[in-house]
A and B are shown apart, each in its own frame.
Chain A
Amino acid sequence: MSAARSRYAMVLALAAVVLAGCQTVYNVDRAKPGKLTKEGTVVFVRPTEYSLFGTKSLADYVEITYDQGQRNSAGLLEVRVGLRDRGGQHFWDVKGMDFAVSAKTTFYEEPVAGTDHRSAPVYETNWQRVMMVRGGTADYKAVCPVKEGAYYQVTLSEMK
């Protein structure tokens, strides 16, 4: 009798555990402050494709030659980033390629780089395609039309 009860109790416990995983609402993980602090003003998004040797990450081909944000004559924050396609940097790919990179700039009122928190942006551009030609430097430019925009973060992605 007691053995049968313990089996039923086991079934109930298992059901409780599984049902707990099926709850309707649960918390979403927050970005870790340590990781946020490491982010600079220009960041890459993790690539979706990986090859046998290394990755197809944009970081393999793109280097930043300048990264400046300053107010223009109208008092609006103007960001300019020089993106150079440095070609292939590995023995399995010495040539490199011409490709398009998607860039998006998000403008904030409060500092972004080196901080462990993010405020809501005052303005963000859409994902804009920047054509990278091997050996050439593309001048990516974004102006924040909202005067409150004082800090920025440029995100580069392979999104096509």
Chain B
Amino acid sequence: MRYGTRLVLVACALAMVCGCATPTVESGTAVLHPDEEDRMGGTFLESSDIRTIASQMTGAILSMPEVASQSGVTRIAMAPVRNNTRFLVDHDIFLKRLRIELNRVSQGRVRFFMQGNAQGVRREILGEQQEGAWLPIAEELAEYLIGRMPNGTVSEPARIAIGEIRNTNIQGMNAESFLATIRSQIAEQGEGKVAFVTAQVSDRVQQAMADGKPLTELGVDYVLCGEFLAQGIQEARGRETMELTTTQRREIFGRNYTRDDTDEEKLTFEVRQNPNVTKRFNCLLVNVANETVAAEKMIRLEKKITSGVGNADYILTGEMSALSKATQGAGRSDYVIVSFQMVEPSTNEVVWEDAYESKRASVVGTVYR
């Protein structure tokens, strides 16, 4: 074989071998299965334990007679796991992993409530949906009132004044706008049989009502009155001024944290509150001629936004406890028990309980976060 041919063969072989080489990149990071030990020591629970807890408790919860025999959905509210150990860990991780496992496999047999997360957006969505429902409510109300006004013709329409509307500004609602919507709906559905008097006449009617004087001389047939109601035990507050006195100033900048004593400083700010209660509007149509209520209807404007936990069948909670030992060096030993309970809310009975135990000893000091 000639020298040139040999060279070509060797070059080809080298090129092809290089092409088949597997690139090796040493990043210093190992990719582990969550069930594998990370060889970093530590005597608390590992990721595999958390997964094992979730798997074992899922089987146990779905085997509960109370859950298994229920024909419909079992609704569960969660209360945080109490951490009685020396370890500062995210104690929510246990219930979070358990909830994931139950949601994965229960096929709708159990259902949880979103507690804490996403509530701001939820409130915003529900608020916007309720605002969008104002027009149908006003239509319904107008139809009801028009149906109860017997007299009035196109040639001589019934004259309506706006009377006193109570509690218009205590509920953080745009009550004036809502009333304007009702008025326009009455006028539209009245098809010329009703006519609203001017604001000046309405003012005189309101003054006469406040003074207890008769309304017959004011030239109106009906007075539209109403009251906004907040369905709650506590009194609804609207605009509120709050004051805060401070003598210390704290600042967090990056990793630095400073706290300085300062002169007494008074901060004043205004709070507008829209109480989270069911809000209703009670509408009255007063017949001026005989001073009786010709029509009255109460409608719901806003529904209280609830977390839903009131519908929970059970509370799922837990507790972490440990028996810890330490030597003078870095030697540590921990017996950890994580228990879970299912509580019936009305009776406070623990209808189910199970636990997971672990004991580990190590001579390597490890910090858990």
- Residues of B with C-beta under 8 A to A19: 16
Known pairs A18-B20, A19-B16, A123-B105; A102 contacts B65 (CB<8 A): no
Q: Complex Cα distance A72/B69, Å?
A: 13
Interface size class of A (residues with CB under 8 A): 20 to 34
Contact yes or no, A76 B20, CB < 8 A: no
Contact yes or no, B35 A102, CB < 8 A: yes
Known pairs A11-B8, A144-B59, A145-B105; A160 contacts B16 (CB<8 A): no
Contact yes or no, B105 A146, CB < 8 A: yes
Closest approach, in angstroms, between the C-beta of B13 and any C-beta of chain A?
8
Interface size on B, residues (CB 8 A): 34
List B residues 26-78 near A (Cβ within 8 Å): 33-37, 48-49, 51-52, 55-56, 58-60, 62-65, 67-68
Interface residue? B125 (CB, 8 A):
no
B: residues with CB less than 8 A from A are 1, 5, 8-9, 12-13, 16, 19-20, 33-37, 48-49, 51-52, 55-56, 58-60, 62-65, 67-68, 101-102, 105-107
Q: Complex Cα distance A126/B57, Å?
A: 13
- Residues of A with C-beta under 8 A to B60: 143
- Residues of B with C-beta under 8 A to A78: 59, 63
- Residues of A with C-beta under 8 A to B101: 145
- Residues of B with C-beta under 8 A to A160: 36-37
Closest 5 CB pairs of A and B: A143-B59, A74-B68, A127-B35, A126-B51, A74-B63
- Residues of B with C-beta under 8 A to A143: 56, 59-60, 62-63
Interface residue? A142 (CB, 8 A):
yes
Q: Complex Cα distance A18/B17, Å?
A: 8
Q: Complex Cα distance A72/B330, Å?
A: 46
Partner of A22, one of B12, B20, B34, B58: B20
Contact yes or no, A74 B65, CB < 8 A: yes
